[in-house]
Amino acid sequence: MSISKIGIVGCGLMGQGIAQVCAGYGFSTFVTDVNEEILDKGIKRIFAYIDKGIDKGKATVEERRAVEKNLRGVISLNELKGCGLIIEAAPEVLQIKTEIFRALNNKVPPECIFASNTSSLKIRELAEISGRKNNFIGLHFFNPVPVMNLVEAVKMEEMPQKIFDDILTFIKALGKTPIVCQDSTGFVVNRLLTPYLLDAVQAFEAGLASVNDIDTAVKLGLGYPMGPLALIDYVGVETVCHIAEIMFKEFKLEQYRPPALLKKMKDKGWLGKKSGMGFYVYQASGMMGNDEGLKEILNTENREQKTENKE
């Protein structure tokens, strides 16, 4: 394989997972972020995740040693210039990704392949910004990366088939299964997943059932491993809301319009598991449905609408 040294830009939740998997499967992996404090926290979370897996029998000491051996945190993008593949795993904001790719284009050789882990932005737009359309690909990993086996691969027409084949070989070397999809907003999974998640929010808004009962219905009635409202909390309320906004803007279909409750939760800082509050309340003793808090948001929304109508 021509790809042996991997660069990861962004050591947040997704970047951590991608870096862990790459290093764990023997690739020399360099991960970076905006400053040393954020980078150090991200790397510590990687090893905390592995240690937790070891305690539960889902990871091994050998896997930890492999990550220790192959993973290195760096601050300067200049230290990525020897990488054959650089994967951007920054927040889902076009301006942030634009700045990253423009900076990278001036620092690494033209033969280096750029990849974006975006879940909703157009790959062609990012490729054109990067200045290397023939060496740019979309690689959408899924959270948690060490567990989820799927990677959506989006190929630009300008990319030689040989390079694309090398990328697919690399993905398989990580123990993942790649699928090839068109450069369409949301690709395959989010195109199908987003309306399902938003429907669950609307079901709660309509008073159909409690948070826990909606999730239980999906798990036991449909056989899904996780309920939709718990999944929103896990992914992040603001992330789901942002993806929905992008898809609604692109397709102009009601099925992608973010529900009012989701927007209010985002504005209130109820972002899900990461903030300790979302559709569920997260405590040391466990998680419980946040029905009363959510109903209060809905009641406030209704009161505001009535006031606006009177005016």
User: How big is the CA angle at 250 (ends 244 and 255), to the nearest 5 degrees?
Assistant: 50
SS (H, E, C) 157-221: CCCCHHHHHHHHHHHHHCCCEEEECCCCCCCCHHHHHHHHHHHHHHHHHCCCCCHHHHHHHHHHH
135 is annotated as an active-site residue = no
Cα gap 239→275, rounded to integer Å = 13
Closest CA to 115 of 161, 76, 171: 171
Catalytic residue from among 117, 119, 135, 290 = 119
**71 and 92 in contact (C-beta within 8 Å)?**
no
Catalytic residue from among 63, 88, 92, 152 = 152
Distance of CA 250 to the CA centre of its chain: 20
**187 and 250 in contact (C-beta within 8 Å)?**
no
SS (H, E, C) 19-86: HHHHHHCCCEEEEECCCHHHHHHHHHHHHHHHHHHHHCCCCCHHHHHHHHHHEEEECCHHHHCCCCEE
Task: List all residues 6 or more positions away from 299 whose beta carbon is below 8 Å from its beta carbon.
Answer: none
Catalytic residue from among 70, 130, 190, 212 = 190
Task: List all residues 6 or more positions away from 175 whose beta carbon is below 8 Å from its beta carbon.
Answer: 21, 25, 149
Peptide bond into 144 cis (omega under 30): yes
Catalytic residue from among 116, 140, 238, 242 = 140
70 is annotated as an active-site residue = no
152 is annotated as an active-site residue = yes
**105 and 9 in contact (C-beta within 8 Å)?**
no
The residues that are catalytic are 119, 140, 152, 190
